Amino acid sequence: MFKSLDNKLKKSLMALGLGAAIAASGLANAGQFNIGTTATPEEIAGWDIDIRPDGMGLPEGQGTVEAGEEQYEALCATCHGLFGEGEGRWPVLAGGQDTLTEERPTKTVGSYWPYASTLYDYIRRAMPFTAPRSLSDQQVYDITAYVLYLNEIVDEDFVLTKDNLATIEMPNQDNFFVDPRPDVKNTRCMKNCADPKKLQIAGTLRGITPVGHFVEGADAPAASHDAQMEQEHNKEKVRKASLKGEEVTSSNGGGASALSESATAGQSTYDGACKVCHGSGLTGSPKIGDIDAWAGRIKQGMPVLVEHAIKGFTGDTGVMPPKGGRVDLSDKQVEDAVAYMVESSR
Ligand code: HEC
Ligand code: HEC
């Protein structure tokens, strides 16, 4: 098998007039192209400089906030500002806490980054911008400690070491979780499977790019593209009507006043964990507010619906993943979200 491939290759190279090259390169015997050389351990080590969240890859050493201050001011502050506030349009390195849900979040080391290891890795690899890889490991420890201090993550007398870097908890760490959307993780169906004619193929997952920015005075982007468009259309209606002096209530809020206590409590869980599918009917999920799609389901009674939502459920139209993929939710939170969905869909 290999032999015949090799012969074919030789023949085509011969046809190209490369016979001499083949003979010279030893391809005729080796069955390889003989291009390049094998990387040496030293060469691999030169490239292999990534540092993992658990600290793997960190060089020996330690650094202090105090030593970092001076170096930061000399090497970094011209661009990133004395306090990490960012000069001009250079990136901001500190602050921005509680802005992530705003329309224009300030993403910084402190407000956004999930792991301190990334900071060490990034500074060592890429900064200062004009002279990457120019800092010693020692300098990177000092400056990393100082940037953490600027973000009020460590105190001024903190000593950053190879061993404690991975234990630093970044403020936004918990907001990173494994993407819950089913992609190739669906379980295989062996019996009583869904009618394939009823399965819907949702080719793209819209809602990744918020479109609200294009509309003047937009609020925080919604969870899905469709929800966002709906939100903007409603606002536009209200705005136009108000120009004409009419009073219009946004259809988004319709029916909200009649919600039970459980449903009211469930709305935010719904928005955060369920709307990505149920807001638009993605992957065959019953769309919230679609009375026909929900009528038969509601007849099963709340206990069944809640159980399906908690444990997951494969029906005629698709796969409802356990807790919508958000295993971090409590059963009560899911139950409240179901109440919200049911009461909004009658
Ligand atoms: C000449 C201006 C300049 C200097 C000096 C500079 N940086 Fe930067 N820094 C940048 C730019 C530009 C980026 C964004 C690069 C990109 O996104 O590709 C950046 C990005 C960063 C980031 C990532 C920010 C984020 O949230 O994505 C960190 C951290 C950082 N720099 C730290 C430092 C440190 C520490 C020093 C000093 C050792 C330093 N920089 C010196 C220009 C500079
Ligand atoms: C990844 C998409 C997705 C997410 C996220 C999701 N669902 Fe579903 N859900 C579905 C699909 C698909 C169905 C329809 C399954 C069927 O009937 O074939 C469904 C059905 C349901 C049903 C009806 C079950 C029945 O017995 O008819 C409930 C209730 C439900 N989901 C609640 C939730 C709640 C609560 C959340 C958030 C915590 C959530 N879902 C998140 C996809 C999703």
Q: Can the peptide bond before residue 180 be classed as cis, meaning omega within 30 degrees of 0?
A: no
Check if 62-175 and 196-245+257-343 are the same fold. yes
**Does the structure show a pLDDT above 50 at 96?**
yes
**Cα distance between residue 31 and residue 170, in whole Å:** 52
Q: Which fold has domain 62-175?
A: Cytochrome Bc1 Complex; Chain D, domain 2 (1.10.760)
Percent residues over pLDDT 90 in the chain: 54
Per-residue pLDDT of 230-267, as tens digits, reads 766 776 677 667 666 655 444 444 444 578 999 999 99
Q: What integer pLDDT is reported at residue 127 of this predicted model? A: 96
> Whole-angstrom Cα distance, residue 266 to residue 308?
16
In sequence order, the β-bridge partners of residue 161 are 62
Most ligand 2 atoms within 8 A of CB, residue of 205, 278, 302 to mutate: 278
Mean pLDDT, the chain, whole residue set:
81
What's the 333 CA to ligand 2 centre distance in angstroms? 14
Residue 19: pLDDT over 90 = no
Q: Range with the lowest mean pLDDT among 26-30, 171-175, 192-196, 286-290?
A: 26-30
The architecture that CATH gives domain 196-245+257-343 is Orthogonal Bundle (1.10)
pLDDT at 31 > cutoff 50: yes
Q: How far is the CA of 324 from the centre of ligand 2 (A)?
A: 7
Write down the pTM of the prediction.
0.50
The closest ligand to the CA of 313 turns out to be 2
- Mean per-residue pLDDT, 139-157: 97
pLDDT band, residue 208 (cuts 50/70/90): low
Cα–Cα distance between 133 and 117 in angstroms, integer?
17
pLDDT per residue over 273-313, tens digit each? Answer: 899 889 988 888 999 999 999 999 999 999 999 999 999 99
Tell me the C-alpha distance between 287 and 316, whole Å. Answer: 14
Residue 287 Cα to ligand 2 middle (Å): 9
Pocket, ligand 2, Cβ cutoff 6 A:
181-182, 269, 273-274, 276-278, 283-286, 297, 300, 304-305, 308-309, 313, 315-321, 323-326, 329, 334, 337-338, 341
Phi first, then psi: give them for residue 62, nearest 5 degrees: -155, 165
Strands 159-161 and 62-64, how do they pair?
A: antiparallel
Neighbouring C-beta atoms of residue 311, cutoff 10 Å: 12
Domain range annotation of the chain:
62-175, 196-245+257-343
